[in-house]
Amino acid sequence: MNKLYMNGKWIESASGRRFDVLNPASGEVIGQVADGNAKDTQKAIQAAHDACESWAHTLPKDRTQLLSDTARAILVNREHLARVLTQENGKPMHEASSEIAYAADFFTWFSEEAKRVYGRTVPSNVPDRRRMVIKQPVGPVGAITPWNFPLAMIARKVAPALAAGCPVVVKPAEQTPLSAIELFRVFHDSGFPRGTVNLITCSDPVKVGNELLHDERIRKITFTGSAEVGKFIMKECADQLKRVSLELGGNAPVIVFNDANIEKAVQKVVASKFRCAGQTCICPNRIFVQRDIAGTFSETLAQTVKTLRVGDGIKSDTQIGPLIDKQGLEKVKTHVADAVSRGARCLIGGNTPADQALRNGFFFEPTVLVNVTTVMKIFNEETFGPVAPIIAFGTEKEVLEMANSTPYGLSGYVYTNDLGRAFRVSERLECGIVGVNDERPSVPECPFGGLKQSGIGREGGSEGIEEFTETKYISFGID
Ligand code: NAP
C-alpha cells in the first residue's frame, strides 16, 4: 500500500500520485509510494497540532512505556526492516541490521530520558518570592531526513521529540521512503496516540518543505542532510525565529601518528571509511599519515581494501554496496579524476567495477589514493564514496593546521599511543566528535553533532532531548 500516515491512519496522497523507488544495486523499480504535496502536509501539520496538548501532558512514565515498547518492536522486526533498507539504500545486510539495532537503541535511551526532563529551583534574592525554572515541549516538530541512514536518522529525531512531549511530522528522503513506511508500521502497532507521529513521503521536497518551514504551528525543524539545504532551511526559518537543529555534512580528518599500531589503525580506518560505501557523514574524508609510516600504512591499507567484496548488499558475502544514485556515482568519479589529474596515484581501485553483473547498479571500486594534496577537490569537499585519500604529514602542528582547514567540523579521528598527544590533538581538532583509536564513536548516550558549518544542535545524550524543550522561568510572589 505504501501510503502517507497521519492522524493514526494510512491515507492516499491528495493528488493520488505515486513515485518509484529504485534499488541502487540494479537500477530496478522495487516499489511505489504515495507522493505527498502541500495539501497533505497541511493535514499532517493539523494532526500534529491537534495531538500536541494531550501528548505534552501525557505522563513521562507513559511516554517511557510507549518508547520502550517501540524499541522492542523494532528489534522483533529487525530482519524485515534490514531487508527493506538494503533494497532501497544498497548497504550490505549486516550494516542494515546494525542500523536497525542502533535505531532501537535511540528509542531505549530516550524512553529513559523522558523521565529526566528536569527544571530547577533558584534561591530567591528577596524573602517573598520563589523562583522556578521548568522545561516544556517545544511543540510540533518537522523532521527532514536523508537516505544514508534512512531508519536511524528518523529514530534519532522522533525518539527524543516524542520523549520530550512533541508530536512530529517526518519527511524522509525521496530515495528511501520504504524504510520510513516500515518504521511507521511499527509506530502504528505500538499504539502512539493519533497525530503524534505523521509521515509524508514525496518526490518534491520543496512543496512539503515549504509547508513545514513556514507554517507557524510547526515550532521546530530538525534536519539531517547537506550543508547547502541546511543553510537554506535556517534562512527560511529565520522569519518566524523557528527553532532549528541541523546535522550537516563533514570533511572528516583521520590522523595516524607514527606511534600508532599500524595494523589496528588500518582495520579501523577501513571499517569507518568504507561503511555504507563511504556515504556516512562521519566517515573519513582525508587520511593524514605521518611521513615515516605513510608508505607502510598505504600499502597495508591497499592490501586490505583489495579483499573487500563489492556487490548487491542483499547477498550475505557483500562488504561494499553501490552508491545511492547516478549523481552520487558521478561525484565520486569526478573527485578521483580531479585528484589523478593533479598528481595523485591510485594504489587500488579508481574505476567502476568490470563485473558485468554490477553494470546496472551505481558501483565504484573501493579505492586508495596516495600523493593527495590540499588543492584537490577530494581534500576540500565531502566525496561520499569508497575512496581513501592519503596525505603525508610531518609534525603535529602541521597536521592540525591541515585538518582544521575546512569549513566543516563534524567528526575527526586520531590514532596514537601517546596519551599527551591524544589529549592535545583531540582538544585542538575543530570537530564536534573525536574518536581516539575509536572508529565508531556514535552512540545514543553521547551527543552527536558538528561545529562550524557542520551544523547546530546535538542528537543523542542528555543534550538530545533538550533540543525539543523550551525553558520557562516562573516567579511566585508568596506574601
Ligand atoms: P540533502 O540533499 O540535503 O537531503 C536531505 C533531506 O532534505 C532529504 O529529505 C531531501 O529531500 C530534503 N530536502 C532537499 N531540499 C529540500 C528543501 N528545499 N526543503 C526541504 N527539504 C529538502 O542531503 P542528502 O544528499 O540526502 O544527504 C547526504 C548529506 O547528509 C551529506 O552531506 C551527509 O554528510 C549529511 N548527513 C549528515 C548527518 C549528520 O548527522 N550530521 C547524518 C547523515 C547524513 P529529497 O530526498 O526529496 O531531495
Decide if 113 is inside a domain.
yes
Q: Are residues 233 and 293 in the same domain?
A: no
Which residue is closest in CA terms to ligand 1's atom 28?
225
Q: Which active-site residues does the annotation give?
A: 247, 281
Q: Are residues 212 and 104 in the same domain?
A: yes
Region 18-43: mean pLDDT is: 98
Decide if 208 is inside a domain.
yes
Q: Which atom of ligand 1 is nearest to the CA of 204?
A: 47
How many angstroms separate the alpha carbon of residue 225 from the centre of ligand 1?
A: 3
Q: Is the pLDDT of residue 135 over 90?
A: yes
pLDDT at 362: 98
Q: Are residues 131 and 14 in the same domain?
A: yes
Q: Are residues 23 and 134 in the same domain?
A: yes
pLDDT at 186: 98
Residues 6+ apart with CB under 8 A from 31: 2, 20, 21, 88, 178
First to last CA, the chain: 63
Q: Are residues 408 and 464 in the same domain?
A: no
Which residue is closest in CA terms to ligand 1's atom 35?
225
Decide if 79 is inside a domain.
yes
pLDDT at 341: 98
Which residue is closest in CA terms to ligand 1's atom 42?
281
How many angstroms separate the alpha carbon of residue 145 from the centre of ligand 1?
A: 6
Decide if 449 is inside a domain.
no
Of 20, 33, 102, 144, which is best to mutate to test ligand 1, by the most ligand atoms within 8 angstroms of its C-beta? 144
Domain CATH for 423: 3.40.309.10
**What sign for the dihedral angle of Cα 438, 442, 445, 447?**
positive
Domain extent for 410: 253-443
> For the chain, what is the HEC assignment?
CCCEEECCEEECCCCCCEEEEECCCCCCEEEEEECCCHHHHHHHHHHHHHHHHHHHCCCHHHHHHHHHHHHHHHHHCHHHHHHHHHHHHCCCHHHHHHHHHHHHHHHHHHHHHHHHCCCEEECCCCCCEEEEEEEEECCCEEEECCCCCCCHHHHHHHHHHHHHCCCEEEECCCCCHHHHHHHHHHHHHHCCCCCCEEECCCCCHHHHHHHHHHCCCCCEEEEECCHHHHHHHHHHHHCCCCEEEEECCCCCEEEECCCCCHHHHHHHHHHHHCHHHHCCCCCCCEEEEEHHHHHHHHHHHHHHHHCCCECCCCCCCCCECCCCCHHHHHHHHHHHHHHHHCCCEEEECCCCCCCHHHCCCCCCCCEEEECCCCCCHHHHCCCCCCEEEEEEECCHHHHHHHHCCCCEECEEEEECCCHHHHHHHHHHCCCCEEEECCCCCCCCCCCECCEECCEECCECHHHHHHCCEEEEEEEEECC
Type of residue numbered 288: F
Indicate the pLDDT class of residue 51, thresholds 50, 70 and 90: very high
Region 234-244: mean pLDDT is: 98
Q: Are residues 221 and 272 in the same domain?
A: no
Domain CATH for 158: 3.40.605.10
Region 98-123: mean pLDDT is: 98
Q: Please, are residues 173 and 33 in contact by the beta-carbon 8 Å criterion?
A: no
Q: Is the pLDDT of residue 1 over 90?
A: no
Which residue is closest in CA terms to ligand 1's atom 16?
205
Q: Which atom of ligand 1 is nearest to the CA of 203?
A: 47
Which residue is closest in CA terms to ligand 1's atom 41?
247
How many angstroms separate the alpha carbon of residue 237 from the centre of ligand 1?
A: 16
> What integer best gives the mean pLDDT of the chain?
98
pLDDT in tens, 314-358: 999 999 999 999 999 999 999 999 999 999 999 999 999 999 999
Decide if 448 is inside a domain.
no
Q: Are residues 433 and 469 in the same domain?
A: no
Region 278-293: mean pLDDT is: 98
How many angstroms separate the alpha carbon of residue 110 from the centre of ligand 1?
A: 24
Q: Are residues 433 and 463 in the same domain?
A: no
Q: Is the pLDDT of residue 52 over 90?
A: yes
Decide the pairing of beta strands 387-393 and 408-409.
Answer: unpaired
Q: Are residues 234 and 258 in the same domain?
A: no
What pTM, to 2 d.p., does this model score? 0.98
Of 19, 176, 229, which is best to mutate to test ligand 1, by the most ligand atoms within 8 angstroms of its C-beta? 229
Decide if 471 is inside a domain.
yes
Q: Are residues 183 and 287 in the same domain?
A: no
**Rounded distance, CA 42 to CA 49, Å?**
10
Q: Are residues 458 and 413 in the same domain?
A: no
pLDDT in tens, 411-462: 999 999 999 999 999 999 999 999 999 999 999 999 999 999 999 999 999 9
Give residue ranges with CB within 6 A of ligand 1: 144-149, 153, 171, 173-174, 205-206, 209, 224-226, 229, 232, 247-250, 281, 382, 410, 450, 455
User: What is the tally of structural domains in the chain?
Assistant: 2
Cell of 155: 529514530
Q: Are residues 18 and 160 in the same domain?
A: yes
